[in-house]
Amino acid sequence: MNYREAEAYINDTPRFTKKNTLENTRMVLAAMGHPERGMKLIHVAGSNGKGSVCAYLSSILTTAGKQTGLFISPHLVDINERFQLNQQMVSNELFLEAFEAVMDIVHRLLKEQLGDFAHPTFFELLFLMGIWIFDKSGMEYVVLETGLGGRFDATNVIEKPMVSVITSISLEHTEYLGDTYEQIAGEKAGIIKEGCPVVYDGTRADVESVILKKAARMHAKAYAIRPDMYKILMNTQKTIDFSMDTGYYLPMDVSISSVAEYQIMNAMEAVTAARIMDIGLTQEDIHNGMERMHWEGRMETILPGVILDGAHNDSGVEEFVKTARRFQKDGKVTLLFSCVKEKDYEGMIRTICENLELSGVVVTQIESDRLIPADELAQIFRKYTRQEVTAIASIPDALDAALAKKGDGILFCVGSLYLAGSLKNIIRSREHA
């Protein structure tokens, strides 16, 4: 089997399997010799910002000279993005080697018919491959991002992380996680382990209450991060400088390479988690790691005047418009939008239209069974804006139309990480054509 065949097999996996219990994943790890038990793990869950927190922590640790693995979800373009070694995506060769090693174990366990063992799901398989890769590559520290939820997420088989982080929570995936903030918080808080500290977004009192109750039951020290703990010193079109004073450690000034103010909370959670680990990180390590972090698809400039943001739920869009408003002062704003069907896409559209003065809107649809037809999205936009709304099913054609509408203004591409990945792939292909 070659790399492309392995990738195709993984992508087809959800079609013939179902989500399994954590014991299923533990059985594979046991057959691997439980390599995760020898790693220093950082576990991150949440609805918004968990990928950014993971990226900040990985950057800090790598900058400090630590051998650091990073497991993230989802990927934007290449599936290899999910596995990073010292900030570098793994090679196709290592990806294939990991796939074959894990599948050898899976096939053996299936043949032995041990208990209720079943073929791993798409995400379970990738997580197991990640653990194999990090072990094979000698990674001392490993930062793990959950996939969906926390309590029953495959990554939650880890037993004793150095620190857990729970980022801001939104009403998303309600069919799986519950339809209230408290229920979703309960699922995310499932990553809190006995005696292991947890850093969390303390913005919402209802969410905080759930997290603190779980932390108390697990004898885990909890560190809240709140918006009143920072002060912006300077906000340019490329960076944000801010001071943070959490009360847990001495105040410090931080600079991040981002235009999005929502990244400040993510940055503070990462800095606090890094300090909690107490592994000899210096302020210089933290400063340099934060400045060097680059996270694709989060207020990322992909072409001159074209900004990509992975905001994909209500709260993510609310944060997006706060940043986008600043750009309105400098010129017209055009929007390219798509979304997946399980999101509150009408609420997202309403928030955008009520808070931004758009000069034009183009809507498209992702290539997935989760798509919302472009025409349907366009109809909703027309309820909330008087500006012209153009519906184009093809993402490449939609991008071209949006670029034409943009003129010398700003084009924001928002609504789905699937859209973000597709656009990056299109631009990459055109650059190499």
User: DSSP labels for 211-270?
Assistant: HHHHHHHTT--EEEE-GGGEEEEEE-SS-EEEEE--SSS--EEEEES-S-TTHHHHHHHH
Longest dimension (CA), the chain: 65
**What pLDDT does residue 323 have?**
81
At residue 384 the predicted structure's pLDDT band, cuts being 50, 70 and 90, is: very high
Mean pLDDT calculated for residue range 316-328: 81
Q: What percent of the chain has pLDDT over 90?
A: 66
pTM, to two decimals: 0.85
> Which residues are registered as beta bridge partners of 163?
42
Q: What are the φ/ψ torsions at residue 219 (nearest 5 degrees)?
A: 50, 40
User: What separation, in Å, do the N-terminal and C-terminal C-alpha atoms of the chain show?
Assistant: 29
- Which segments of 119-212 are extended strands (E)? 141-145, 163-166, 198-201
Question: Could you give all domains of the chain from N- to C-terminal order, each with its CATH number?
Answer: 3-292 (3.40.1190.10), 300-431 (3.90.190.20)
Indicate the average pLDDT of the chain: 91
Q: For residue 354, with 0-12 CB atoms within 10 Å meaning exposed, 13-18 middle and 19 or more buried, which class applies?
A: exposed
At residue 174 the predicted structure's pLDDT band, cuts being 50, 70 and 90, is: low
Q: Is the predicted pLDDT of residue 285 greater than 90, yes or no?
A: yes
Q: Is the predicted pLDDT of residue 176 greater than 70, yes or no?
A: no
Strand order in the sheet with 240-244: 230-235, 240-244, 252-256
Q: Is the predicted pLDDT of residue 16 greater than 60, yes or no?
A: no
Q: Is the predicted pLDDT of residue 374 greater than 60, yes or no?
A: yes
Q: What are the φ/ψ torsions at residue 162 (nearest 5 degrees)?
A: -65, -35
In the chain, DSSP finds a helix count (H) and a strand count (E) of 15, 17
Top mean-pLDDT range of 163-177, 290-304, 404-418:
404-418
> Which helix (H) or strand (E) covers residue 197, if one does?
none
